[in-house]
Each structure stands twice: as C-alpha cells, then as structure tokens.
C-alpha cells in the first residue's frame, strides 16, 4: 500500500463523498500480460483516475494494488470526477485484448478519521457499493444521489437500480447508475443478493381466532401510518401485530422489521435500538440512532415496535420518524396509546368465551404437552376455564400447559377459587409472560402510586361501574385516575346505545390481581363496606319507582349493576352487617320479582332473615319480611306468603307504622281468598280501602278497588266486577299507575272471557300482555301466557296454543315464577291443557311444546299479538254475556 501524503491534514471531515474503484478481472489480466506489462497498464489507469480526482478537488486517501480510494468534500465534484475518469479510461488506446475496465462506487456519509486514514461504517459501505458493479460502471448510493442530482451536467443522468442487499450491510441499499452519453450503460444486474423482507419472528405455533381483527387492521393500515394495538398483558397484541406485519410485508419494499423494546430501560435508547435492528451501526463520533431519520427518509418500510408502554417519553421519536419518512408505516403494541398526531388506536379484545377459537386455543396448547389429551366430556369445563381467564390467550396457554400435571376439573376449581396454578410458563418466555400475574404486574408497576391504589379499590366492583360509583367507593374524584387506568388497558371503557353514559369494567384476571393487592394492604373490609353502602343508595332510590310508570328505566338501571347489587348483598350477609343486608333485600325484592330473579331473591332474603340480630323488631326487618312475602307470592308459595304477611301486620302494628300496616292488611286479603272466605276478604279489603283514603293515598284506594273486583269475579259477579275494573282503570290512567293499569286490562279480559265475549276478551288480554312487556315485567308477562293459550284455542289455533304453553313452562322455570292461586283458578276454568289434548295428537303436542320452550319472552309476546290480530280479523260478534260458574267453587290446578 502506498501512502500518498505524509501529512494527512488534507483529508476533509464532516459529510464527504467516498470514491472506491478497482479493475474488473485484474488478476486475469496480470496473468495473461505478465507482471511488467500489467504494472505499466495499472500505473496508467491510476494516473487517469488521479488526474480526474485532483482536477475536481478530491484527495487520494490511498491506493492498494489496482484499488483506488479517494474522497471529496462535495458529492457533485465526486460524480464529475468519476464521469471524467470513465470517459478517459474508455478513450485510452489499451493494448488489443487487454482493455482496462474500472468499476467505481460513490457513497456520501460522515467522515471519521482514524489516524492517517478513514475508518467506520460509511467507508465500508462505499467499498461494498463499488464491489457490486461491473467494469465501466459507476454506482451511487442514495445519499450521494440526493446530494449530487441537482448539479449533474453534460447530459449525465441517474438510473434507479432498486434496492439491494450488500455483503456485511444488513439493511437493503437503494442504488443508482450514472449514465454518461457515449459510454456503455447496459450492464448486467448488480452482483448483490435479493432485498431482505425484514426480520419478523418465525411463527412457532398456529395462529387462531383473529381473522376478523386481521382484516380490520389491514384496512386501518391503508389509511393510517401509525396504528397502536392496545390491551392488557397476555391478550395477544404481539402475535396479532406480527401476523399483521407478515400479511402486509409485500407492500413494504424495504421490508417489515420487528423491534423488541421490552428490555429497553431508557426512552432515549429507542432510536438506537431501531437503528441497530435495521442494520445501522455506531460510528466513532456518531451513534447509529442519530442517522436513523436520514436513513429512513426515502425508504418504505414497516416498523413493528413491540412493548412500548414503559417508554412513553420516546413518543416524540416515533412522531419524528413519521414526519421524516413518508413511506414508513409503524405498528406499535402497547398497553397504553401513544397519544400523538396521526395515531389510530386499535384495542385488542379477548377471545370470545364459548367460541371455537377460544376453546380451540386451549385444546391445541394442551395437546402440545399431552398429545393424547382429549377434552371429550370435559368440553364444558374447558369453556368454564376460558371464562375464568377472560379469554386471554396468555392465560389460556399457561393454563393449558398445566394439563400435563392436573385434571381439567382441578384447573377450573383452582382458578375459580383464585388460587395460583403450579409451575410456570415456557423457559424461553420473558419473566412477565411466565405467569398471568407477571403479565399484569408489568402494567401495574408502570402506574403511579395513586393510580395503583385506585386500581386496587375498584377491584371491589363486580361487572361494570360508572364514574360516580367509582368516586363513592374511592372517596374522591377519579376522572384522571380512571383515564390513566384505561390508557394502560387495566380498565376498559364501555359504551352502547342501550347504556346511558360511559361505564367501566375490569377483566376478572386483573380484578383478581388487584383484589389480592387490596387484601394485602388490609383495606378490603373498608372498601367492601363503601361499595355495599353505595349500592344501597341506588337500590333504595329505585325501590320508590317499582312498580311504577318509570319502571322500565329503573329496571334497566338496576340490571346494569345486577352483579354489584348481588355482591353487595352477599358481602353484607357474610360480614354480619345485619341492618345493611335487611335494607338491601327490602329495596331489591321488586326488582328481583319484575326482572325474573325470584330464586336469587329468595336465597338472599332467607339468608338475611337468618342473620344474628335480624329477629329484632325494626323497620329493616319489616321491609325484609314484606319482601319475603312478595317473593313467595310470585313464586307460587301461597302458604309461605301468608305467613310472612301475617308477621308483616304484627310488626307494622308494633312499630306504629300506619302505611306498612295498611299494606299488610291489603296483602293478607290473599290469605282469606286462599281458604275460600270471600266475604272475609271483601271485608278486609274494604278496611284497607278506608285506611288508604284516610292516608290520602288515591293509588292505594284504586288498588284496593281492583282487589275487590277480583274477589267479586271469583264469585261469578262478572258484571259488578267489570264496573269496578273500568272505574279503577280510569284512576290508574289518571295517576300514572301503569303496572296496575296493565293488571286491570287483564282483569277486564277475564270478565269478558267468562261471559263468552271472546273477541272483546282477546282485545283486553293482548293489550294487557303488551303493557306488561313494555314495562319490562318479566314475571307477570310470563304467567299470563296460559291466558294467551286459551285465546289461541278460541281462535282455532290449538297448535299455537301448545307452543305458548311450552313457552310458559320454559320461561316460568327460567325465571322461577308461578301464577298466584287466583290466577291459577282462572286458568283452570279456561282449561288450556285439556282443550289442547282434545284437539291435537300426543306427538304434535310434544313437538309444539318443545318449540315453545325454546322461545324467548319477546318471541312469545309477538306470537300473542299475532293471534290477537287473527281473532280480531275473524269479525265475530260476541253473544250476550252469560253467568259463569263461581271460580271459588272450583279447585285450583
């Protein structure tokens, strides 16, 4: 090697353009020409290049054999020198059969002096670019093209040769050819490898259950250059994002690149990690990250930044890359969105519990550890495990791996009891993914102390909750804290057309983690009490409207918090908070009755009344006893109902509560009816009516009148009953008592039916059922279906009557309701079961009733309306009313 300068102060620094050249086939020439001749030709070719370099302000760094290494302060001068040298080399009269063809490579970058020479990555890139070409060809890097393109002269042009992988240069290079008029330009393809598609991780297992999400994400990427997949740990963000990148990689000419950030401790290191993933290297004076934006400026790549949540201060670097590189798209996985311009967040949801994808993932991973394992009869338990794990893919994989140690039943039971499963996850998985708690703890530990406390406190909620409820439990404003928890995917936001406002929910797996922390802190008892008191306020507010004109809204409101109300009541019982438990069941019984939760209500009321201290006379016990009587009445347990109503009267009198006393007398009328003492019942309801009137309770007076009409109807005094019902109906319309209005329209239907006014009866009956259904009264709508079956028989539709009887039986079993004794007696008179048996063969009855058992309440009501329309369409003229046989003389069915 010859050093051309003793004093190397002439070497430029900063951004320079390197020229690397060598002779194509030099060894073959030296062998064929002999050493002396070759040395002469080589010296001539070196002289030609040197003159061109010197003439354009370049410096010869060194020569070695037939290789020349020069440097220029300006890229345009380097291009001009290379073009001049190639013209001169082409014009020189080389000996016949011994043309000297020189390949040249130009690359611009930062110059780093290493003693009397240049060192670093940019010098190596220039050498690799030159080596890719052919004799007579000048190849430029993209940085050189950007710097020199504007100053090209003499008809010289640039040709884009595309992207190429160069030896020892990991990232593809976009290369250009300098075309010089009069010189050869049709060179063979560059001597490079096929461009790389990136570094996406290989898929080690099958990818299940995310086809819809993949399709949606591909559409999002067409319009958004920054897409952030958010969700809690273990939900499958990484696998989904990698599959997304794999599916769209072909549309990224410079490849799809996976950048793992989970072990990066400092946001300032993010650019360097990205740069090194792309194949950029640190130089002596400049980190690789400093050149990242310039490197990406004219490239089209897909970057997948995985696990960004702990590096939020690096979001400005992401925004800078998007601005600097219009062709770049970025997919981020994070437990929180980046909150920068242009970002499209895509919350990743758990797999749907009960779906084939959810159970299929568990089964497939279980077979990975036990190839012979078959869910078989345990398929239901697999679905239960999936539900206990919220459909989280990580949780499913970890639980499935335990199939090698535990029966599926044991796995389910341990998860239900909030007990950890033995063992840990795969050894090659990050620590945070070896247990589900570890995945959640990763997000939890990124929170500030106040946000962690809020998360722990919110764990006492079952199901969803709203901001006001969260504040009542937490004890102060929660808006900012909730926003932080939502951002970190530890709490999810819920909105729907059916739900007013915004509600929030915590996955059960996260809730279990937070409850453990709350218990460890010793604050669970305090928070449970706050939670129970908050829902007592809701329950007692709703009770004032049940039943009532506004009951659909209140039933919907309570249904939103059904799980919380149940949890609050059960906690009050378990914690021996006697008065709190009694007040809760007292306030909730109408909700349980109207919304079809009678079995649950009975269980909780019985448990509350059995608590220590519950036997003491108090307003709370009075309310709970009344609730117990009401639940027994609507569940078809008349003896129990009368027993509770008797104690209600005794307790109300002892406490001096006139309102409760008259309500108890009203309820006990039922007891007189049960034993056939209609005259005694009439006297008792008359007493109740006078007491209601004295209290100024017009609604109570009207309800007593309705009861009197019902008692008269039982004595076959239908005409008198009809007059009373019509008067009561007008009152209920005036005072807005929609529930008793619906009951009264039904009663008018019975007076019409029992006097053979079939068409009129159908009108009242359909109106009544529609009113009940509109009021969201599941119990009463259900127990009225046998009356609709009677109507169907009268319409000549015994098959639909059988369907409605099947619907009644299925829905009554589902909701735990049964017709009270008086209504049951009316059904006996109409005899729907017997009349269906008279008109249909046994097989047809079984098939029709089976169809009915699968109907929803909505579908059954629609059938009732359709049959009513058919009765009306028949245009029958009802006969004169007849006198029915007294119902009180007939046994109840």
CA atoms within 13 A on the CB side of 281: 12
Query: Taking a C-beta distance cutoff of 8 angstroms, is the pair 763, 791 a contact?
Result: no
Residue length, the chain?
A: 893
Residues ≥6 apart with Cβ < 8 Å to 846? none
Q: Determine the average pLDDT of the residues in 685-698.
A: 96
The per-residue DSSP string of 158-217 comes to EEEEEEEEETTEEEEEEEEEEE-TTS---PPPPS-BPPP-B-PPPP-S---S-HHHHHHH
- Angle CA 777–738–680, to nearest 5: 90
CA quadruple 388, 393, 397, 399: dihedral, nearest 10: -10
Tell whether the model's pLDDT for residue 487 goes beyond 90.
Answer: no
Extract the tokens encoding 405: 């140690």
Please tell me the distance from the alpha carbon of residue 552 to that of residue 556, in angstroms, as a whole number. 6
Please tell me the distance from the alpha carbon of residue 740 to that of residue 548, in angstroms, as a whole number. 9
Please tell me the distance from the alpha carbon of residue 362 to that of residue 778, in angstroms, as a whole number. 38
The SS3 call for residue 492 is strand
Give the pLDDT score at 890.
31
Please tell me the distance from the alpha carbon of residue 620 to that of residue 165, in angstroms, as a whole number. 82
Residues ≥6 apart with Cβ < 8 Å to 271? 289, 290, 292, 314, 317
Tell whether the model's pLDDT for residue 169 goes beyond 80.
Answer: no
Predicted confidence band of residue 5 (pLDDT cuts 50, 70, 90): very low
Predicted confidence band of residue 206 (pLDDT cuts 50, 70, 90): low
**Integer-rounded Cα radius of gyration of the chain:** 42
Cβ atoms < 10 Å from Cβ of 517: 17
State phi, psi for 309 to the nearest 5 degrees: -60, -30
Query: Taking a C-beta distance cutoff of 8 angstroms, is the pair 74, 57 a contact?
Result: yes
Query: Taking a C-beta distance cutoff of 8 angstroms, is the pair 24, 103 a contact?
Result: yes
- The angle, 0 to 180 degrees and rounded to 10, between the axes of the packed helices 718-735 and 738-754 is 160
Q: Which residues pair with 345 in a beta bridge?
A: 228
- In terms of average pLDDT, the best of 190-194, 511-515, 689-693 is 689-693
- Using the 8-state DSSP alphabet, how is residue 41 labeled? H
Q: Determine the average pLDDT of the residues in 641-664.
A: 97
- Using the 8-state DSSP alphabet, how is residue 71 labeled? E
- Using the 8-state DSSP alphabet, how is residue 632 labeled? H
Give the pLDDT score at 430.
52
* pTM of model > 0.85: no
Give the pLDDT score at 278.
85
Q: What share of the chain is helix, strand, coil (3-state, %, to 5)?
A: 60, 10, 30
Q: Determine the average pLDDT of the residues in 312-341.
A: 95
For 355, the enclosing helix (H) or strand (E) is none
Extract the tokens encoding 531: 């939670």
The SS3 call for residue 418 is coil
Please tell me the distance from the alpha carbon of residue 361 to that of residue 351, in angstroms, as a whole number. 10
Tell whether the model's pLDDT for residue 3 goes beyond 50.
Answer: no
The SS3 call for residue 9 is helix
Tell whether the model's pLDDT for residue 40 goes beyond 50.
Answer: yes
Please tell me the distance from the alpha carbon of residue 45 to that of residue 766, in angstroms, as a whole number. 107
Distances (CA, A) of 622 to 359, 597, 601, 608: 49, 21, 16, 12
Tell whether the model's pLDDT for residue 434 goes beyond 80.
Answer: no
Indicate the average pLDDT of the chain. 88
Alpha carbon 191 to its chain centroid, in Å, reads 50
Residues ≥6 apart with Cβ < 8 Å to 367? 373
Sign of the torsion angle spanned by Cα atoms 578, 581, 584, 590: negative
Please tell me the distance from the alpha carbon of residue 491 to that of residue 461, in angstroms, as a whole number. 12
- Using the 8-state DSSP alphabet, how is residue 306 labeled? E
Q: Flag the least confident range among 96-110, 112-126, 269-283, 416-430.
A: 416-430
Tell whether the model's pLDDT for residue 496 goes beyond 80.
Answer: no
Query: Taking a C-beta distance cutoff of 8 angstroms, is the pair 426, 522 a contact?
Result: no
Q: Which residues pair with 229 in a beta bridge?
A: 333, 346
Extract the tokens encoding 706: 């309705």
Q: How many helices (H) and strands (E) does the chain have?
A: 39, 17
Per DSSP, helices labelled H in 595-737 are: 598-609, 619-634, 638-655, 658-674, 678-694, 698-714, 718-735
Extract the tokens encoding 718: 């239908």
pLDDT digits (tens, 9 = 90+) for 92-136: 999 877 789 999 999 999 888 877 788 777 888 898 999 999 999
Extract the tokens encoding 516: 């453990």
- Using the 8-state DSSP alphabet, how is residue 291 labeled? G
Instruction: Spell out a b/e string for 319-332, using b for 16 or more CB atoms within 10 Å of the CB, else e.
Output: bebbeebeebbbbb
Sign of the torsion angle spanned by Cα atoms 295, 300, 305, 311: positive
Alpha carbon 135 to its chain centroid, in Å, reads 61
Please tell me the distance from the alpha carbon of residue 273 to that of residue 397, in angstroms, as a whole number. 30
Give the pLDDT score at 428.
47
Closest CA to 708 of 692, 720, 691, 693: 720
State phi, psi for 587 to the nearest 5 degrees: -75, -25
Tell whether the model's pLDDT for residue 283 goes beyond 60.
Answer: no
Please tell me the distance from the alpha carbon of residue 504 to that of residue 310, in angstroms, as a whole number. 23
Percent of the chain having pLDDT more than 70? 92
Q: First and final CA of the chain: distance in angstroms?
A: 115
Give the pLDDT score at 543.
96
Please tell me the distance from the alpha carbon of residue 888 to that of residue 893, in angstroms, as a whole number. 12
Query: Taking a C-beta distance cutoff of 8 angstroms, is the pair 165, 196 a contact?
Result: yes
Q: Determine the average pLDDT of the residues in 15-28.
A: 91
Look-up: residue for tokens 């550890």? Answer: 369
pLDDT digits (tens, 9 = 90+) for 547-578: 988 999 999 999 999 999 999 999 999 999 99
pLDDT digits (tens, 9 = 90+) for 337-350: 999 999 999 999 99
């Amino acid at each position: 090697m010859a050093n051309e300068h003793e004093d190397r102060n002439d070497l430029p620094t900063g951004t320079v353009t390197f020229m690397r050249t060598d002779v194509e086939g030099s060894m073959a020439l030296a062998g064929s020409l002999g050493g002396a001749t070759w040395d002469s030709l080589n010296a001539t070719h070196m002289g030609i290049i040197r003159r061109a370099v010197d003439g354009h302000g370049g410096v010869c760094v060194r020569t070695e054999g037939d290789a020349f290494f020069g440097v220029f302060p300006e890229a345009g001068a380097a291009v001009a020198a290379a073009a001049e040298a190639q013209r001169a080399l082409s014009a020189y009269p080389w000996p016949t059969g011994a043309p000297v063809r020189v390949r040249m490579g130009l690359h611009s970058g930062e110059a780093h002096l290493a003693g009397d020479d240049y060192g670093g990555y940019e010098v190596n890139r220039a050498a690799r670019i030159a080596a890719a070409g052919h004799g007579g060809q000048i190849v430029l890097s993209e940085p050189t093209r950007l710097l020199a393109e504007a100053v090209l002269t003499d008809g010289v042009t640039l040709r884009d040769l595309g992207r190429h992988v160069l030896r020892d240069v990991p990232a593809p290079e976009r290369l250009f050819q300098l075309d010089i008029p009069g010189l050869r330009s049709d060179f063979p393809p560059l001597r490079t490898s096929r461009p790389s598609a990136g570094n996406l991780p290989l898929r080690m297992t099958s990818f299940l259950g995310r086809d819809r999400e993949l399709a949606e994400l591909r559409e999002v990427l067409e319009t958004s250059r920054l897409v952030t997949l958010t969700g809690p740990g273990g939900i499958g963000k990484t696998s989904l994002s990698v599959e997304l990148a794999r599916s769209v990689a072909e549309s990224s000419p410079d490849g799809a690149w996976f950048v793992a950030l989970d072990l990066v401790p400092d946001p300032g290191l993010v650019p360097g990690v990205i740069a090194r993933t792309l194949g950029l290297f640190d130089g002596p004076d400049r980190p690789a990250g400093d050149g990242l934006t310039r490197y990406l400026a004219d490239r089209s790549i897909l970057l997948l930044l995985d696990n960004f949540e702990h590096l939020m201060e690096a979001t400005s670097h992401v925004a800078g890359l998007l601005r600097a590189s219009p062709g770049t798209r970025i997919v981020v996985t994070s437990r929180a969105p980046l909150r920068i311009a242009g970002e499209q967040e895509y919350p990743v949801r758990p797999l749907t519990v009960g779906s084939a994808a959810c159970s299929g993932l568990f089964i497939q991973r279980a077979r990975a550890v036990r190839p012979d394992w078959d869910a078989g009869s345990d398929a239901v338990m697999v679905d239960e495990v999936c539900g206990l794990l919220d459909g989280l893919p990580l949780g499913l994989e970890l639980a499935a791996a335990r199939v090698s140690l535990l029966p599926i039943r044991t796995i389910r039971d341990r998860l239900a009891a909030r007990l950890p499963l033995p063992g840990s996850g795969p050894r090659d998985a990050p620590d945070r993914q070896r247990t589900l708690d570890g995945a959640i703890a990763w997000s939890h530990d990124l929170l500030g102390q106040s946000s962690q406390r809020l998360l722990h406190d919110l764990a006492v909620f079952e199901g969803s909750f709203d901001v006001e409820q969260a504040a009542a439990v937490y004890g102060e404003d929660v808006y900012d804290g909730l926003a932080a928890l939502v951002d970190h995917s530890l709490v999810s936001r819920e909105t729907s057309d059916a739900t007013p406002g915004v509600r929030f929910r915590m996955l059960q797996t996260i809730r279990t983690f937070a409850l453990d922390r709350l218990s460890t802190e010793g604050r669970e008892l305090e928070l449970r009490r706050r939670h129970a008191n908050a829902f007592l306020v809701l329950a007692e507010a709703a009770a004032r409207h049940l039943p009532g004109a506004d009951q659909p809204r209140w039933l919907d409101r309570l249904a939103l918090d059904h799980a919380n109300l149940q949890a609050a009541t059960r906690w009050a019982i378990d914690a021996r908070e006697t008065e709190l438990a009694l007040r809760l069941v007292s306030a909730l019984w109408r909700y349980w009755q109207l919304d079809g939760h009678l079995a649950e209500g009975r269980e909780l009321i019985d448990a509350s009344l059995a608590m220590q201290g519950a036997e003491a006379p108090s307003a709370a016990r009075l309310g709970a006893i009344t609730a117990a009587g009401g639940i027994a009445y609507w569940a078809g347990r008349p003896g129990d109902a009368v027993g509770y109503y008797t104690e209600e009267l005794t307790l109300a009198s002892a406490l001096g509560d006139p309102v409760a006393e008259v309500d108890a007398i009203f309820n006990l009328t039922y007891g007189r009816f049960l034993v056939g003492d209609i005259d005694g019942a009439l006297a008792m309801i008359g007493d109740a009516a006078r007491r209601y009137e004295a209290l100024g309770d017009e609604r109570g007076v009207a309800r007593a009148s309705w009861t009197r009409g019902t008692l008269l109807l039982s004595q076959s005094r239908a005409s008198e009953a009809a007059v009373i019902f019509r008067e009561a109906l007008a009152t209920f319309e005036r005072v807005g008592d929609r529930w008793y209005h619906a009951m009264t329209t039904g009663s008018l239907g019975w007076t019409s039916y029992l006097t053979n006014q079939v068409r009129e009866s159908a009108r009242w009956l359909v109106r009544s059922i529609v009113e009940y259904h509109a009021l969201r009264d599941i119990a009463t709508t259900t127990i009225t279906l046998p009356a609709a079956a009677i109507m169907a028989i009268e319409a000549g539709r015994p098959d639909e009557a059988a369907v409605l009887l099947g619907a009644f039986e299925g829905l009554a079993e589902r909701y735990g309701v049964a017709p009270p004794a008086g209504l049951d007696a009316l059904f006996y008179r109409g005899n729907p079961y017997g009349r269906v048996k008279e008109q249909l063969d046994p097989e047809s009855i079984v098939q029709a009733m089976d169809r009915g058992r699968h109907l929803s309440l909505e579908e059954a009501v629609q059938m009732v309306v359709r049959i009513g329309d058919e009765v009306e369409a028949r245009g029958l003229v009802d006969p004169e009313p007849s006198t029915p046989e007294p119902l009180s003389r007939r046994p109840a069915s």
